[in-house]
Amino acid sequence: MHLVPDRYLRALCVTLVGLIWWLDHVTPEYFVPASLYTVPASLSAFGRSARFTVGIVVAALSLNLLEGYLEGQGRNFNLEVDLGRGAAGLAVVIVGFLSVRLQGAGQIKALNASLQEQVAARKRTEMTLQRAQEFARVNRIMMMGEMTASIAHEVNQPLTGIVSNAGTSLRYLTASEPQLDAAREHLELVVRDGRRAADIVTRVRNLAQRAPLTKSPVDLNETIAEVLTLAQEELNRRSTRVSLELADDLPPIPGIRVRLQQVMLNLILNAVEAMHDLEDREPAIVVATGLDGVDFEFVEVRDCGPGLTPEAALRLFEPFYTTKAEGMGMGLAISRLIVEGHGGELRVFTNVPQGAVFRMTLPIKDLDSESG
């Protein structure tokens, strides 16, 4: 409906009102029909402001009445001319009323269209978020499936320790001369291994379950230690050495622990797989943490593999793009979504002298709560 900008339309309407009055004033009596005042009143309907339309109508009526008064000076009453002036004024009022109604209908229609677009955009966002959450859950389950042997190994170690230490305690207690101190020490080891097994099961369950997730203070160094425990069997199987460069006294960050565990686990496993064909050097990764300026902390996973081609570096975070023969291409895309959902960034660089570096930065303060 808005064919020209409002400022040009307003200038045109004001000019027309003035021009019509000038022609009406300088020409012989009623040579210019007073009904021409309806033209700017109708043109104003193409603008966005009903107040301006009312102003044009008032101006047209005033000038029409003024010219009628000036014409009436020095002559007798002329029914035809004066009635024409009155009819023209009434026509201006009617046209102005219809213009305002038309503007109101257009604004309501535009508002409805805007609201509908906002609702549609919100629905699209919700559907995208739901798909991302489903992909994240599927990705977690796939990773857990790939790590079944690792999990079994991790749980089996404390269980073996429990059985061994419990048996030793029984022997100390049932001996001809019970050795209570030694039995107590081994029972304490049983308690320790039991807690360790429970912790492993809890971490695995949290990583795979579908449950409401809320932000809480997360210690990045502790989270890395937990993830390395889950990945230890895979690291051992691939003979991959891990070096830690963890900064001291890092403040906890607001985050969803299980989601950040998922990202770190994915980065570590990707680094391990990137070095599976190395022959001239030992597979090794470095996991580092530290401060990135004042407001962010970082986690880096560096490998010494063959590195990335320029094309792979550009497309690595695209959904369904993968450099693996049997990969789905969702792990890094989901990881970036998770990190960005925490207000951070996930990027990849070339390692020196060889390999790749994945760097995750996370804000120290909760940006969502601050913006709310």
pLDDT digits (tens, 9 = 90+) for 132-147: 666 666 666 655 555 5
What pLDDT is recorded for position 56?
Answer: 77
Helix (H) or strand (E) segment spanning residue 98? helix 79-146
3-state secondary structure (DSSP) of residue 20: helix
DSSP state of 55: H
Do 358 and 267 touch, CB atoms closer than 8 A? yes
Backbone φ and ψ for 16, nearest 5 degrees, come out as -65, -45
Orientation angle between helical segments 148-174 and 220-237, nearest 10 degrees: 100
pLDDT digits (tens, 9 = 90+) for 55-99: 777 877 777 777 767 766 655 555 555 566 666 667 777 777 777
3-state secondary structure (DSSP) of residue 16: helix
- Return the structure tokens found at 342: 């925490």
Q: Which of 5, 9, 35 is nearest to 20 (CA)?
A: 35
What pLDDT is recorded for position 53?
Answer: 76
What pLDDT is recorded for position 253?
Answer: 94
What pLDDT is recorded for position 293?
Answer: 87
Cβ burial 308-345 (10 Å sphere, 16+ → b, else e)? beeeeeeebbebebbeeeeeebbbbbbbbbbbeebbbb
What pLDDT is recorded for position 361?
Answer: 96
What average pLDDT does this structure show over 30-58?
Answer: 70
Q: Is the pLDDT of residue 216 over 70?
A: yes
Q: 213-371 has which CATH code? A: 3.30.565.10
Helix (H) or strand (E) segment spanning residue 347? strand 345-350
337 Cα distance to chain centroid: 8
DSSP 322-346: -SSTT--S-HHHHHHHHHHHTT-EE
Domain boundaries defined on the chain? 6-118, 147-211, 213-371
Spatial CB neighbours of 43, under 8 Å, sequence gap ≥ 6: 9, 12, 13, 16
What pLDDT is recorded for position 14?
Answer: 80
What pLDDT is recorded for position 245?
Answer: 95
Residue 175 CB-density burial (10 A; 0-12 exposed, 13-18 middle, 19+ buried): exposed
Q: Is the pLDDT of residue 38 over 50?
A: yes
